[in-house]
Structure 1
Amino acid sequence: MDFWPEFLASSWGREFVAGGLGGIAGIIAGYPLDTLRIRQQHASKGSAITILRHVVSKEGPLALYRGMGAPLASVTFQNAMVFQIYAILSRAFDNDVPATYPPSYKGVALGGVGTGAIQSLILSPVELVKIRLQLQRNVTGNKYSSIHRGPLDVARSIFQNEGLRGMYRGLTITVLRDAPAHGFYFWTYEYMREKLHPGCRKKGQESFRTMLIAGGLAGVASWISCYPLDVIKTRLQAESSAKYSGIIDCFKRSVREEGYTVLWRGLGTAVSRAFVVNGAIFTAYETALRCLYTNNNNQATIKTENTM
């Protein structure tokens, strides 16, 4: 009974819960655009609007949310861990900064790189399942029917046919993508919120507008920095058979067959989604953190008064 009050009384407990709530907000806000991005990356042609019309007309609007169960089920834990790991590493890489001050931009960037590398271990299998669900379509007459019933069915199929190694297909490129991308991500957010609201990094009193814009720009910066790697990752994880022998083979064959523009296919969709999703993530995260701190302080005050 006393677990939650004690958990939320700790700094890392509040960070964990706020990060989880931020992740949920981000998934709900941007999942349809994520589905369009994945389909653009895997297809050989077609704009976002063309693919959107095709999906809605042939498979129905709910197809845009296919596979959301996998990231939504894990996103609370994953995003909570990301913010918690980042909070620890950004301090660990910058011991000279007092605890009462925000970490330096160097600590922010290095903490982000470390966070991206670590969270890839959790994210890689989840994204594999999500991508397989987003891309699956089986034509029966004039109708599209699902091959797999949901995330667990996909995971079971991958494990049975490809083993544990198959569940981690694309892990290396996920680490190569996420480590630098998270460095850009956290650095851009901290830098932009300070520019938009000077002094807010120390006082923590920025407006919702600042959170939305800084979070959105952080997402855009991180995606632009890693997008070609994300295209290769999608293609590697989309194939259950060994179509590509590895990252280099996938890169060479994709460029040879479709040109260098393939490495940026779907960027517009990804950037639009990134702004929406990460604006929602940071706004939900910062808002939840404030509420948790305020609620905890009020409870502490009441407890002190009752003791007296």
Structure 2
Amino acid sequence: MAGVISGHPLDTLRIRLQQPSSSSSFSALKVLRSMASSEGPLALYKGMSAPLASVAFQNAVVFQVYAVLSRAFDSRNGRDPPSYKSVVLGGVGTGALQSLILCPVELIKIQLQLQKQASRGLGPMGLIRRIMEREGVKGMYRGLAVTALRDAPAHGVYFWTYEYTREHLHPGCRQCEENTTTTLTLGKMLVAGGVAGVASWVCCYPLDVLKSRLQGEPAAYTGILHCFRKSVREEGPAVLWRGLGTAVARAFVVNGAIFSAYEVALRCLSSYQGGQSPSPAAE
């Protein structure tokens, strides 16, 4: 939850930057100044309630599904860590399944983030009611296809990068998960998680721009290809990378914290279940 709170202002800037604009010199600083002057600093936290309410459940599902799938795809001895190939396949499957949870959450979040102060707009529940009344359950899953196309490969890259980076930073740590004397330090966990987050965002970012536009202005586009063609034709290919800097900065901090919390929790639970006092997983 702390990651959502600390990273949400950058997320709001990213969503605003990704929307159609006639300006050729769009920058995060200009958007920040505009929002602060016309909507107030709290505008950076618009839409935070949706991810805040779902983040714990979402992360629990993601890590549990990944653990199951990465083992299911691995044909080796179950006592060995999954191969990197199994890690990628498990990540891809996890990302595809996660999109079913994430799509409605991001739809509400994005539409709230794009509301202007003058319109006052609707709250999360009001927005959900309006969508359900007009479009039914189908309306809550607007953008599901592009969300799955973004998240499936991105999660394959995400988990592979984390496993590879932490093994590079601390050789042998994948083989010694139960030995607390060989665990990663907190700093290395943060770096490995941060690098994984950055890599996953870079590989999928153009699809994220299309997703944000499809969910933010649904009436403007008929589908993914139409959104892509219209955006590139009117604003140039560079539009597909607009806001990447804010996404990368947020990804490093938030995902470093997520993986560190996950690793520490695993080791504390392992120590507790073994009848020992929980010992720190980091130095």
Q: TM-score, normalised by structure 2?
A: 0.91
Structure 1 position 90 matched with structure 2 position 70 = yes
The whole-number CA distance in structure 2 between the counterparts of 1:91 and 1:159 is 38
TM superposition shift of 1:175: 0.5
Structure 1 position 226 matched with structure 2 position 204 = yes
Which segments of 5 or more consecutive residues in structure 1 lack a partner in the other structure?
1-23, 140-144, 301-308
1:177-233 deviations in whole A, cap 9, x for unaligned?
A: 000000000000000000001111122301111110110000110001100000000
Note if contact 1:27-1:72 (Cα within 8 Å) is conserved in structure 2: yes
TM superposition shift of 1:295: 2.4
RMSD: 1.6
The change in CA–CA distance for 1:25 and 1:90 in structure 2 (over 3 A counts) is: farther
The whole-number CA distance in structure 2 between the counterparts of 1:206 and 1:87 is 19
Per the alignment, residue 253 of structure 2 pairs with 276
Match of 1:147 among 115, 121, 125: 121
Per the alignment, residue 118 of structure 1 pairs with 97
Structure 1 position 134 matched with structure 2 position 108 = no
Per the alignment, residue 169 of structure 1 pairs with 142
Per the alignment, residue 217 of structure 1 pairs with 195
Match of 1:81 among 61, 76, 79: 61
The whole-number CA distance in structure 1 between the counterparts of 2:190 and 2:125 is 34
Choose between structure 1 and 2 for higher RCO, CA contacts under 8 A separated by at least 6 residues.
Answer: 1
Match of 1:62 among 42, 65, 72: 42
TM superposition shift of 1:163: 2.0
1:63-86 deviations in whole A, cap 9, x for unaligned?
A: 111111111111111110000000
The whole-number CA distance in structure 2 between the counterparts of 1:206 and 1:131 is 36
TM superposition shift of 1:26: 2.8
1:76-130 deviations in whole A, cap 9, x for unaligned?
A: 111100000000000111122x222111100000000000001101110100000
Which segments of 5 or more consecutive residues in structure 2 lack a partner in the other structure?
178-182, 278-283
Structure 1 position 183 matched with structure 2 position 156 = yes
SS at match of 1:275: helix
Note if contact 2:162-2:193 (Cα within 8 Å) is conserved in structure 1: yes
Question: Percent identity between the aligned chains?
Answer: 66
Note if contact 1:25-1:284 (Cα within 8 Å) is conserved in structure 2: no
Structure with max Cα Rg:
1
Note if contact 2:39-2:117 (Cα within 8 Å) is conserved in structure 1: no
Note if contact 2:10-2:246 (Cα within 8 Å) is conserved in structure 1: yes
TM superposition shift of 1:256: 0.6
SS at match of 1:298: coil
Structure 1 position 39 matched with structure 2 position 12 = no
Aligned-partner residue type, residue 103 of structure 2: S
Per the alignment, residue 52 of structure 1 pairs with 32
What is the aligned residue count?
Answer: 270
Note if contact 1:133-1:151 (Cα within 8 Å) is conserved in structure 2: yes
Match of 2:81 among 102, 116, 119: 102
Per the alignment, residue 180 of structure 2 pairs with none
Note if contact 1:182-1:222 (Cα within 8 Å) is conserved in structure 2: yes
